[in-house]
Chain A
Amino acid sequence: MTSRLGSDLHTIGVLAGREFKMTMGSASTYTALGLALGLAGWMLSNDVALVRSNGLLVDVAPFRGPLLGALLVLSFFLAVSAVLSVARDRDRGTLEVLFYGPIDETTYLAGKLAGLLGAYIAIMPLLLAGLGVISMFTRFEIGINLIAALALSIIPAAGIVAVGLLLSAAAKRVRSSILLFVTAVGLFVGAAVSYSFVSRIPVEDPASPILPLRDALGAVDAVLSRISPFTYLEQIFDAADTGAWTAIGGSLALSLAATIVAALLARFALRWRGVRTREE
């Protein structure tokens, strides 16, 4: 029993190491990091412009928005990486080859998850260093609460990767997994945008058909935002901003539970879908 566990852990370690090296050795990772820092730089340059035009700026955490924006870019990149990862292995036949060895669905997905999460953790100091340089230029304070939120963001990031793995495991080909991912993101974003749009339409007549549509979109948006892994990331930053550590605990617990559920579903999806591209 112990030797089986040890063997599984070794396998997970090797798979995680492979995924980690592939992610960290990929140019796209640094492009994503560059884009994330570019977004943060752009957001902070607006604050700098504000200081110049108004002469002053009052803020609790000027890095909150830029850091959250950067993390959303990076977690989106990781989700895409996860989506492509399993589908690509399956398309190339690597998945089938690996499953001839001492690998099952659990070890394979755990290795992927650990590797991508390791890459996320490895990117954190790079991101922080980049933001540190900007902080040095602007004298804007990053703040200990945001650094804590950054460290805690690993759990919602794991959830985002797990959702990517689930979509990828459920799809047969790279194209299908991308389609699923785009649909999922489209639903999350589309519901929020449509609700926001419909809410702004002025209504004067209580019999207006806009009203039930607004309420319906509100309900759909409320449900989708509950299950969106990106919501937990935002919640952690919101709570860190106000120092509401109890609320952070709640968000982390929910995020962890969602990660476990997504990972388990991914395991079932992979078993159901199989390791081959087409049934022979």
Chain B
Amino acid sequence: MNRSARFVVAALVVVAAAVIGFTGLGGTDPTDTAREEFVYYPLVTNGFEYRRVPYPEEVTTIRLMAEEPVAIDARRSVVAFWPITREYLADFAKLDESVPGVAEVIDEQGVVTVFEPQPYTLWYPRGLGAEPRLVTGTEAQQTYDTYVEQGRAAFEADRQYQMAVARLQEEIDEWLALAADGVEPLPDPPAELTEPPPEPYVAYAAEPALAPIVQLAAGSYTLRWRGDDGQIVAGSERRLAVSGATKSGVAYTIIPYDRWTQPIFTFDPNESIYLAEDQEVFLAPLRVSRYSAYVYTRLLDPQTIDTPDRNITLWVPDETNPDLTGNSVQVTSKNEVTDNVAWLGYRVFQEPNATRGYTIEEFEADGALQPDFNAMRLPIDKSVGEISLVDPTGNEVANSSRDIRRVPAIPRAALYLPALAFIGLAVSLRFFLPRRHEMRKDSQSI
């Protein structure tokens, strides 16, 4: 075996030894590592939902969204390493002991702010499926009381309505029995219910609880917990990394005419929209904000092993300011504004003879009918080069423009022409052109 081959074998042996070594060092049993710890159990948000996320002592950084209220809870629990997901998990079923006290937040200048426990509740005005709001202070109890009152009233209204329906059914059954017995003269059938069923009550508020509510501006802080005995609780110090959106803009839901149930989204203002030559589309704008993907994914999942590149960003719908009605899409062609498309309602009509089985037409208000979707119809004009959103005063909304490009119907083989040209050149060089050896000349010149 020559020296190079020996080197290769040695390299492979080193890698194999490293793998075997690491493998031997791993394999810890979760029960071996379990120990009682101080655990923060805050109710954190990513702007869409609130979730309880445990932060054992091993998770040294708590990430929060700037200017969003968060309820900080402190517990003692048993924490063990779970090798499958590589997370430190708190076993609240085994031990769940509340640690009374106050949260102290120290900013970068060393200023300490104390957050005393106060009542809070999660309020879902549009139901549990929609985004909640963390209501704090005296408003929390009021919100809960109102929820209970309205919930009871809605329940009572529904019960009354159901009773009325049951009574009507009873009357109908009796009338049908009379009719079946051939009673003459048959009385008039019972009158239908004129009152509509009550609106279902979907709102929900959790029972108020007590916790320090922390709402911070973007920055780096230190969080610690001071117990009722006036001492800082051991193991309670954590880094608080609070970050906000780095940019805001406008995203578009793009609804293709021939696949209207399968919309595509463009979130990033740097994106271009490439359309087939004959494709007609509808655009529905929505406000979005940009976050670091690394930070955003860790808001609700701080121990994730996914480590996206720190430069990767994520655009997420901005629910705090979603209203864009009244805006319109400005269409630019060859650097000149050529059209202004309004936000309108559209309905889809099923038509068996239509090419796609349906046609999409502008919605005209008619009784209780609702449009199938609201959007701005982009002209099919091939010269359209850019679109942007303009507000009712005519000003362009920041980061709302997109390039529009029509992709011509070219044969796919055409894309290989440059490759073939260079391979042709290579063949020519190899077989048709004389080879030149200039080494001798070079040696002489040296």
Contact = CB atoms under 8 A, between A and B. Distances in A.
Interface of A: 11, 14-15, 17-18, 21, 25-31, 33-38, 40-42, 44-45, 47-49, 51-52, 54-60, 62, 94, 97-98, 101-103, 126, 129-131, 133-134, 137-141, 170-173, 176-177, 179-180, 183, 187, 191, 203-204, 206-209, 211-213, 215-217, 219-220, 235, 238-239, 242-244, 247
Given A212-B24, A244-B311, A37 B4 contact: no
A34 B419 contact: yes
Contacts of B331: none
21 contacts: A15-B442, A18-B438, A25-B435, A42-B415, A56-B279, A58-B254, A59-B272, A62-B274, A126-B422, A131-B418, A137-B415, A172-B4, A187-B15, A206-B82, A206-B84, A212-B22, A212-B24, A215-B26, A220-B19, A235-B309, A244-B311
Interface string B396-409: 00000001011111
Nearest to A273: B3
- 10 interchain residue pairs of minimum CB distance: A212-B26, A216-B22, A130-B418, A176-B4, A34-B423, A38-B419, A30-B426, A244-B311, A27-B430, A34-B422
A172 B3 contact: yes
Given A33-B422, A172-B3, A242 B8 contact: no
B311 A30 contact: no
Contacts of A45: 412, 415-416
Contacts of B11: 183, 187
Interface in B256-273: 256-259, 262, 264-266, 268, 270-273
Given A34-B420, A139-B408, A220-B22, A242 B313 contact: yes
A84 B15 CA distance: 26
Given A28-B426, A206-B29, A216-B26, A14 B445 contact: yes
B21 A56 contact: no
Contacts of B309: 235, 238-239
Contacts of A60: 268, 270-272
Interface residues of B, number: 80
B442 A14 contact: yes
A212 B25 contact: yes
Contact of A58 (B2, B273, B412, B446): B273
Choose among B266, B279, B417, B423 the residue with the greatest number of A CB atoms under 10 Å from its CB. B423
A239 B21 CA distance: 35
Contact of B276 (A26, A51, A140): A51
Given A206-B30, A216-B21, A216-B22, A37 B419 contact: yes
B94 interface: no
B414 interface: yes
A41 B266 contact: no
B95 interface: no
Given A41-B416, A98-B443, A102-B446, A55 B275 contact: yes
Given A30-B423, A33-B422, A48 B412 contact: yes
B170 to A, nearest CB: 56
Contacts of B256: 54-56
Contacts of A180: 4, 7-8
Given A30-B426, A139-B274, A176-B4, A55 B313 contact: no
A208 to B, nearest CB: 8
Nearest to A97: B443
B272 A58 contact: yes
B369 interface: no
Contacts of A235: 309
Contacts of B276: 51-52, 55-56
B83 interface: yes
Contacts of A137: 408, 410, 414-415
A191 B313 CA distance: 28
B257 to A, nearest CB: 8
A56 B281 contact: yes
Most chain B CB inside 10 Å of its own CB: which residue of A51, A140, A247: A51
